[in-house]
Each structure stands twice: as structure tokens, then as C-alpha cells.
Amino acid sequence: MAHSWSFFSAGQFTFGCGSRHELGKHAVRRGYRKVLIVTDSTLAGLGMVQPLHDDLSEHGVQVEVFDGSAAEPDLSIAEDAAFVAKTFRPDAILGLGGGSNIDLAKVTSVLATHGGQPHDYFGWDNVPGPITPLIALPTTAGTGSEVSQSAVLTDREASMKVSILSQFMRPSLAIVDPELTFTCPKQITADSGIDALTHAIEAYLSKEAADIAAEPGEAIPYSGCTPIGELMAEEAIALVGRYLPAAVHEPENKVAREKMALAASLAGLAFSNCGVAVVHALEYPIGGRVHCSHGAGNGLLLPYVMRYNLPQREEKLARIAQLLNPIGDHGSDMEAALVAIREVEQLKSFIGIPEKLSAFGVTEAMLPEFADKSFAISRLMNINPRTPTRDDLLQILREAL
């Protein structure tokens, strides 16, 4: 390779059914005496918060709960959570829930540690130093936020989803207990699962690490595709292809739930190092405007962007076909690449992800604005294997409408 690359993860990654019961021991071992749990009222009402609260308390840890999170949380919720954190002064902040709650915990920690407002940290590498340690316990299988360096919020005034990215935001401890996903509703399972597939495929198709322009020692948001990231992405793609349909349509299938939890974390490790690209860039303004779930928006757009990237990634798309459908010969690389796109389209349909953006209420008149906002996210444009123009993005959106 032309230059060095790095690989980042959560400080500690613990996986397995029942692993949540080790939370109190982990907290004591790390010297945490006060923990703030960031979650939402639905999970609190379902009784998922109290056992964690009790476990921590039994180990001598003082606990405070902020349960004001929501799907795709906006900036005001982050400010409210930060106020609680600044008052309580925790030794660690625990994000319990889907990616929205874990992302909110990350931003809460940044604000509690460094002050300011969420917009002070938008973009890459604007967090000036270490933050209050984070613990992540996902209750969905998809976002990979438990291992990533990013957080996504919704800026209602700008009608845009916005990101904060910093290596300081990777959780110190990720506890992935598949049992926490067993009661996840069908549509959230589908949206989260297709989000994991999007992460894995975008990471797998991203520019090679050797092709990323960076000065020696320069901090960059994504390294491009590396051997480690490629291995994790491949395994995640194979797991999603095999187990997501069962996780959606057979919700009591514990094997499928466990494998999807693993796939989500593997995809999270892949994308948070290698990168995500045009799919995510397009989804941010769409989700901010029409309020579709992040996973559903990504999943809808994924095959259209795969088709756009085909001229630069024919061989890798052919490999994706084999990962998603390992039975039989898919023909030439070009034929197999087209099979990969069809496999994703069929999976989308089978789990209930809409085929067209119009199902979310998107209209033709909205598309130029979406293309403009997407094109402005240079870190995502630069990691895509095929360098898009603003008109390319508009054409992808028209095809997806």
C-alpha cells in the first residue's frame, strides 16, 4: 500500500446472550461510581432499564436515567440530555437502545465534557479531546453505533440529518447482548437489518486505503477499504443475507437474532473504519425532510447506488452476489454483479422496505435540494469508488423516485 492505515474499535467489545448481566462488574472494574443511562420512555416502559439500574446499584454505582430520547433525535433533545449530565456529573454515560439512543449518549458526553452546543461539533474531528467514557448496549441489530466514531442527529431547522465524527466518541465498552433484540418489532428489525447491510456494502465498495489522499499522520474520518475492514464487511454481508429474512419473519428465531446482532457490529466496525458513501449522503437530506427511518432510507437507496458504482466495482459486486446467494454459478463478473443488485432488491421487498422514494412522500420538486445537500458532504463523496457529480446524484434520485 502507498501509506499506512489504522483500525479503530470500541475499547472493549463483549458479545453473547446474557452478557448484559456483567454490566455492574464492568462498572466496578473501571471505577465508575456514577452512571447516567440515556434511553427512551418506550424501553423504560418495557422494563428494559430497571434491571440494568438494579445491577449497577447492587454494585454500589449511583444511577441517573434520562429517558427523553426519540427516533432520529433532534438537537434540542441532545441539549436536554446534556443538561442532566452536567447536573449529575457521571463517571460514565450508558446508551441503551437503537442507534438513535446510543448516538444521543455520545453527543451528551461530548457536550457534558466540552460544553457548547451540538452544532459546534458538526463534521469531522471537531471534538477537542477525550470525553466522559461511553458504554453502549444496543437493543436493535443494525446501526453499529456501539463500535463507531459517529453520531447522527436531526437538525429540524435545516431539514437535514447531521453527523458528528470523532475517534474520541467510540464507546469505551460495548456490550452486545442479542437477547436485548428478541422483542424488537418487525419493522424496526427490517429497517435496522438493511441498515447493517448498507454499512457493510458501502464499506466493502469504498475506495481502497491506498487511494485515499492524506498526509502522513493526518487524522481522516475514513481510511478506505482495508484488509481487516474487507473481512468484516464480507462476513456481515453473508450473515445478513442468510439471517435477516428469518429475523424479520420469525421473530422468535434466536439463532437469527444472534447472528444479526453479530452482523450489525461487524458492519459497524467495517464502515466506521473503511467508510460509508453516496447512499448515506443521499439519505441525510431525505430523512431530514420526510422523516423516514435512517435504515429504511439507506436500504431503499442501496441498489440504485450499487448500480451507479458498478463500472468501478464489478468484481467486488460479483463477490457480493456469492456472499448473498452462495448457491450456484452466477456467470461472468458482470452477470454476477447484476445478480448482487437483484439480490438486494429482492431482500428489500421480502422484508418490507419500499422500492421507491415516493412511498416516503418524496416528490420530484424536492430532488434538486437533496442533490445539492448531498453533494456538499465531501467526506462521503470522496470515499465513494466512483466520484459523483451533482448531476449524477440527481439522476440516482430520479431513478429511485
CB of 274 within 8 A of CB of 229? yes
What is the fold of 12-181? Answer: Rossmann fold (3.40.50)
| Displacement of CA 220 from its chain's centroid (Å) | 18
Neighbours of 120 (CB within 10 A): 14
pTM over 0.85: yes
Q: Residue 217 pLDDT more than 90?
A: no
Same CATH topology for 12-181 and 186-400: the answer is no
What mean pLDDT do residues 247-256 have?
97
Considering the four listed CATH numbers 3.40.50.2000, 1.20.1090.10, 1.10.274.100, 1.10.10.410, the one that applies to the domain covering 186-400 is 1.20.1090.10
Of the chain, the percentage scoring pLDDT greater than 70 comes to 99
- Amino acid identity for residue 370 in this structure: F
Per-residue confidence (pLDDT) for residue 212, from 0 to 100: 84
DSSP string, 19-34: GGGGHHHHHHHTT--E
Determine the Cα–Cα distance for residues 390 and 377; give it in Å rounded to an integer: 11
What is the spatial distance between Cα 270 and Cα 8, in angstroms, rounded to a whole number? 10
pLDDT tens per residue, range 316-367:
999 999 999 999 899 999 999 999 999 999 999 999 999 999 999 999 999 9
Q: Give yes or no for residue 240 having a pLDDT over 80.
A: yes
Which residue do the cell numbers 446474557 mark?
18
Cell numbers given for 154: 436531526
| Residue 4: band (very low, low, confident or very high) from pLDDT cuts 50, 70, 90 | confident
Q: Using alpha carbons only, give the angle 171, 172, 175 rounded to the nearest 5 degrees.
A: 75
pLDDT tens for each residue of 174-187 = 999 999 999 999 99
Residue 215's pLDDT is what? 66
Angle, helices 314-324/227-249, rounded to nearest 10 degrees: 40
- Contact by Cβ (8 Å): 137, 180: yes
**Residue 16: pLDDT over 50:** yes
Q: Is the pLDDT of residue 216 over 80?
A: no
- Report how far residue 82's alpha carbon sits from residue 105's, in angstroms, rounded to the nearest whole number: 9
C-alpha cell at 184: 424488537
pLDDT(227) > 80: yes
pLDDT band at 130 (very low <50, low <70, confident <90, very high): very high
Residue 115 near residue 59, CB atoms below 8 Å: no
* Residue 365: how many other CB atoms lie within 10 Å: 7
Under DSSP, the state recorded for 158 is T
- 95-to-16, 32, 49, 143, 372 alpha-carbon distances in Å: 18, 15, 11, 13, 33
> What does the domain layout of the chain look like in residue ranges?
12-181, 186-400
Strands 150-155, 160-165: pairing kind? antiparallel
Return d(Cα 112, Cα 173) in angstroms, integer.
19
Least confident of 53-62, 94-103, 168-177, 215-224: 215-224
Is residue 11 within 8 Å of 134, Cβ to Cβ?
no
Give bridge partners of residue 176 from the DSSP assignment.
15
What does the mean pLDDT of the chain come to?
A: 96
pLDDT at 211: 87
**Residue range 264-300, pLDDT digits in tens:** 999 999 999 999 999 999 999 999 999 999 999 999 9
